Structure 1
């Protein structure tokens, strides 16, 4: 997937901005607070239905305006052109793909894989389970067309059970919802386990491009003792305790993607820099796993990359990105000193006071997505 151009209106400090990328990777440079990150947020809205900093309506709309709008013209892996658009007014949103109205934001994200590495991404390595679960589910969503519907069914049943727990409802009312939770849970866990396998292989391939030691092993914790009993049986056994707490304590909503040892120490002893490297490697592994399994290339977004990595790791990353089959947008106050020649020739756009202007004339003609390059390390996933 490659972005040819995208248009943003009234997102944070951005008024009306349009970037012509012609499928190229690019640098977005400028002072802090200029609007660089907001441009990445705009693309995240199309790829996730949310920003990596806030949900629509939570400070995203420019002050004094009633709605924000993002429109992207892009091409899939076959070269077919598409137009995706999102308008959000704080309370209501509308989304369209190729002129067709969409009923869910998930429909907007289908076929439009976006990954973003940003200053808070270290939470993937050492933060709450929700961050890692969300990263795994991003891959499952793009691998399994039915996963989104399955997850919605599970979420609905979970809300109903939690409401019954808090209302003191009789036991008979729990049974249909616990059966539904069990059906969804086992299907979701099978799909998550398959995706985790792809992800672990991809992480092993990506890791040598960033670090010299062995990658951390990955494991999926389902969220309940799946090896002991079916979820619906354990929900029955846990019902009294859950009544006291007022919520459901086990199930796929408590799942976690767990890391093993890396850098010679367990995850809880990783330094902040080590945690960032693991998070970065996981982000790249998501992209590689999807490319190997489905042939889909993701749009990679890197916010303030020069401030997140030391010069050595930054140079190694850029060296790979410049040769990988991905379109990348990288923000920073300027181009890093450790910039390989290939990345140094990416177009540069200067962002200041919510306005964007090109600093280089590298957009000679639209490019087609390159043939899938071998993954890092020269091995398939």
Structure 2
């Protein structure tokens, strides 16, 4: 009997997949959960479910530090935002897939399986990595058998598979963010109820007093909060806590999926918004105008590569080289004011600052204003010719 490694969350889809892989595909199932910062119960549940469903061999793979240092920090340096929000689920998928590939090789498995449907993005993100990084076959039982959610529930009952808790929403959570979808949220006119949120306070429930936070960066990544040095995991978690307390990081968006469908998605990314906002503010004082302009193109391209499941594309590696070179000067401290769902940069300083206060001051005479006369006179020359020649009455 051939072995298959199933990326396993212990939810309805993947629990059904265990039995389908045995019954429909005649395979020996090994389950695996990759820890990228989910709540502890989300890590413990898959192991427990694997035992309850038939004492399947299960692996829990800790990838939190790798996720923070090799994925999140790269995304920070690139200011990675897709259609206006920080990427969390999409950013974790390639790492999860690579860990599953490594496990499949160790276990001698010929096949890797996942519980994705044929309507979402994750099928692309998982399979792009699996097919690029291994010779394993890929099975997606829910997609391949064209199952509806109702059919899954009926099959689960027929196989005595315990149904997960009656959560209203489908939730994916990791160190960098929380994604909420499904149920009443599929109606784009329904306001998300407060029980959909977990990481962020509403603006009415957030503290009455604002908080001023200082964040220090080195080579484009955060290293301390209010003067306290922190490792990547502690710093990101603390930023999630602080920004979430002040109601920062809620996103309600109609998102464009890879296959062309539009979907209503709710996100909580408090720490990501806080860090990326501070990072960009520091770039504004340390990078040149042309670097900042070019950086906008990098951000757009980098974010689309992540969203589209192309983390392993050589272009992403090429962009990392450019970004890392630019980020050598993104060093310094940013001061942020957080209050009632709003976040405002109120200070920034850097040893590589291109802001020269003495020169820009209205009281300075080092820059002789009279020397600007010729420059201004000939400014917008082509536009002037156009208006004189092409707009004659």
TM-score of the alignment, normalized to the shorter chain, above 0.5: no
Q: Structure 2 length normalisation: TM-score?
A: 0.23
